[in-house]
Chain A
Amino acid sequence: MVPGSNVPLSVATAGLLEVAEDAIITVDVERNIVLFNRGAEKIFGYQRGEVVGKKLEILLPERFRLAHVQQVRNFAEGPTIARLMGERRNVYGLRKDGTEFPADVSISKMHVQDTLYLTAIVRDVSERYRAEQAIRQLNAELEQRVIERTAALAETNRQLLLKSQENETFVYSVSHDLRSPLVNLEGFSKELRLTAEELRELLSDPSVPASIRSQAERLITVDMFESLGFIEAAVARLGRIIDALLRLSRLGRVEYHWQWVDVHDLVTRIVSALQASLSQKSAEVRIITDLPQAWGDPTALEQVFGNLIGNAVKYLEPSRAGLVEIGYQPAQGTSPGAYFVRDNGMGIAGNHLPQLFRAFQRLHPQVAEGEGMGLAIVHRIVERHGGKIWVDSQLGVGTTFYVSLPPPPENERGVR
């Protein structure tokens, strides 16, 4: 009896069998089907009358049948009361129409009046299976896409590297070739100067009439030496430009010694080296936050900070007390952590910003000497470190340069 009611338990369980969504199939030890519930009819497509009395194997795909007979015997004779089938592999069912479906199967033993029966509960898991397949497929596709994108990126990278190497080789050979005529210009201007001195010597001879001597003297010292002065200045300038070009081309070829760099220490050294020139300018350079270590080449990073700080000092506004502040701004949202060099100097007009990092750009040629290579070099170095450099500036107010440097590659972490 079901407790609290007058319904016999067997009747109640029979009702349960009928409402179950799963297939519930009972066989005797010879695997003859004795019970086939409504769920089983729905899943396998057989009417109860078609299968009762038949062997259980008709519900299995051909390829599993032989092994199955043995498995059922082992289970029937073994000590286990119930277990889930297919723990080690997928189990399939065979419908009346010949189609197969993936299934979860659990099996249990029961004795009814000394007769052993085996009951299998079978659930069609096609849906779950399809979903899993879809996820697997999606994963595989994603993986494939990641592989493809990575390969594409690597290729782009290689192309860029090749291009920049080509550029650097080109710049190198051009500057080499430019030097040869420059040597002649430089050497022969010097020769001319020497010849002029010899001429003057000749003129000092007492046999030269005084009027000719003074005229010739003027031609040599005024006209000739002025012309020579211009040639020499131009040659020197051209020489510096070629040197700068060579330096830039060398940047891409020089080998980096990657390591953790103590930026705070490095900047402190740069600042103290600047002190002498600062006192004349009534300017102050301060490190306002702790500067974290960076992964990179110490020499190259020294060039970066030396250049940025040097520029900040060079282009201070003479009409007010100069202030240069160096600090580190931690990552915020999508913007990475960055070192900054902030000044209250002349500032840069917005329309000049795009050319800022190009070679030979000089925005304040009247203020300081230079070839306009500094920021191009800084940019190239930061780029080779895989980092970013950007600038905020307002004309007449000041400029802030930001440099963000990426963490070291995975295999270098922990070297710290």
Chain B
Amino acid sequence: MNTERLLILLAEDDDGHASLIRRNLKRAGVINDVIRVNDGQEALDYLNNLRRQTTAEAHVPLLMLLDINMPRVSGLEVLRDVKADPRTSLIPVIMLTTTDDPREVHRCYEAGCSVYLTKPVQYEQFVEAIKRLGLFLEIIKAPTASVGQVLPE
């Protein structure tokens, strides 16, 4: 994987969900830029734009967070598109959904997703997922003092 600054592409149609995800990523210590798109089609547009600037050998430095239920193009369709193209097939994809329906989980892993998370996603889950992916994320290893204190739980 490329070590240049990794971007996070978040495809989420619900503003509330998007805001919660941003907050929890931040709490998990992730300070990479998050680009949010509103549905699957916008995610595909973004990807196609990136592909035009990428040669076959270079991999796109991106982490994708895809909501499944989105208007126009679903997260699952975006996932399939990502995995079908060698320029993007190595992009780690985290699927976000409101249900733990085993069939849906199965479909996502079958299509090649890296992690499947059920909303609302807590920051601990993001930490865990990022660890598992072994990503070169710009994570602040220890939560900052203020963050540590506001998460007593």
- A interface residues with partner B (beta carbon < 8 Å): 175-176, 179-180, 182-184, 186-188, 190-191, 194, 197-198, 201, 246, 250
Q: Which of B20, B69, B149 contacts A184 (CB 8 A)?
A: B20
**Residues from 63 to 103 in B contacting A, C-beta threshold 8 Å:** 69, 98-99, 101
List residues of B (98-153) whose CB comes within 8 Å of A's CBs.
98-99, 101, 119-120, 146, 149-152
Given A175, A182, A191, which contacts B20 in the complex, CB threshold below 8 Å?
A191
Q: Are B150 and A180 in contact (CB under 8 A)?
A: no
Q: How far is the CB of B3 from chain A (nearest CB, A)?
A: 33
CB–CB B14/A180 < 8 A: yes
Query: CB < 8 Å: which of A180, A201, A250 contacts B69?
Result: A180
A to B CB contacts below 8 Å, 14 in the list:
A176-B99, A183-B16, A183-B17, A184-B14, A187-B16, A187-B17, A187-B20, A188-B16, A188-B20, A191-B20, A191-B23, A197-B152, A198-B150, A246-B99
Distance between Cα atoms of A190 and B149 in the complex (Å): 15
B120 contacts which chain A residues (CB < 8 A)?
Answer: 183, 186-187, 190
Known pairs A183-B119, A187-B20. 20 more at Cβ < 8 A? A175-B99, A176-B98, A176-B99, A179-B98, A179-B99, A179-B119, A180-B14, A180-B69, A180-B98, A183-B17, A184-B17, A186-B120, A187-B120, A188-B20, A191-B23, A197-B150, A198-B150, A201-B149, A246-B101, A250-B101
- Distance A198 CA – B14 CA, assembled complex (angstroms): 26
Give complex CA distance A177, B121 in Å.
Answer: 17
Q: In the complex, which residues of chain B have a beta carbon less than 8 angstroms from the beta carbon of A201? A: 149-150
Contacting residues, chain B, for A182 (C-beta < 8 A): 98
Report yes or no: A184 in contact with B99, Cβ–Cβ below 8 A. no
Separation of A295 and B101 alpha carbons in the complex (Å):
28
**In the complex, residue of chain A having the shortest beta-carbon distance to the beta carbon of B67:** A180
* Nearest 5 Cβ contacts at the A-B interface: A179-B98, A184-B16, A187-B120, A187-B20, A183-B119
Q: Across the interface, which residues of A come within 8 angstroms of B20, CB to CB?
A: 183-184, 187-188, 191
Contact between A180 and B99, CB atoms less than 8 A apart: no
Verify A183–B98 contact, CB threshold 8 A.
yes
Chain B: residues with Cβ within 8 Å of the partner, total of: 16
User: Shortest CB–CB separation between residue B136 and chain A, in angstroms?
Assistant: 28
How far apart sit A175 and B99, CA to CA, in the bound complex (Å)? 9
CB-based nearest A residue for B13 = A180
Min C-beta distance of A56 to chain B, whole Å: 83
In the complex the two chains form, what is the Cα distance from A187 to B151 in whole Å?
14
User: Please, how many angstroms separate the alpha-carbon atoms of A187 and B22 in the complex?
Assistant: 12
Determine whether the beta carbon of B69 is less than 8 Å from that of A176. Answer: yes
How far is A184 from B120 in the complex, measured between Cα atoms in Å?
8
- A190 to B122 alpha-carbon distance, docked (Å): 10
Measured in the bound complex, the distance between the Cα atoms of B150 and A201 in whole Å is 9
Cβ of B126 to closest chain A Cβ, rounded Å: 13
Q: B104 — nearest CB in chain A belongs to which residue?
A: A176
A180 cross-chain contacts in B, Cβ below 8 A: 14, 17, 69, 98
Q: Which of A176, A179, A194, A246 contacts B151 (CB 8 A)?
A: A194
CA gap between A180 and B23 in the complex, in Å: 18
Q: Which residues of the other chain, B, contact A175 by a CB distance below 8 angstroms?
A: 99
Chain B residues with CB under 8 Å of A190's CB are: 120
Chain B, 13-61, CB within 8 A of any chain A CB:
14, 16-17, 20, 23
Closest chain A CB from B108 CB (angstroms): 15
- The residues of B that contact A176 with a CB separation of less than 8 Å are 69, 98-99
Q: What's the Cα separation between A188 and B152 when bound, in Å?
A: 17
**Which residues from A are CB-within-8-Å of B150?**
194, 197-198, 201
Chain B residues whose CB sits within 8 angstroms of the CB of A187 once the complex forms: 16-17, 20, 119-120
CA distance A186 to B17 in the complex (A): 10
B99 cross-chain contacts in A, Cβ below 8 A: 175-176, 179, 246
Question: From residue B11, how far is it (CB to closest CB) to chain A in Å?
Answer: 15
> B25 CB to closest chain A CB, in angstroms?
13
- The CA of A188 and the CA of B14, in the complex, are separated in Å by 13
CB distance from B141 to the nearest CB of A (A): 21
CA distance in complex: A198, B120 (Å): 21
| B149: min CB distance to chain A, Å | 7
Set of chain A residues within 8 Å of B23, measured between Cβ atoms: 191
A386 to chain B, nearest CB (A): 25
- Please report the C-alpha to C-alpha distance between residue A132 and residue B69 in the assembled complex, in whole angstroms: 69
Nearest-neighbor residue (CB-CB) of B121 within chain A: A187
Distance in Å: Cβ of B21 to nearest Cβ of chain A: 9
A175 to B69, CA, bound (A): 13
Find the A residue at minimum CB distance from B152: A197
Residues of B with C-beta under 8 A to A183? 14, 16-17, 20, 98, 119-120
Write the nearest CB–CB distance from B144 to chain A, whole angstroms: 13
Residues on A with C-beta less than 8 A from B146 are 198
A204 to chain B, nearest CB (A): 11
Among A175, A190, A246: residue with most chain B CB under 10 A: A190
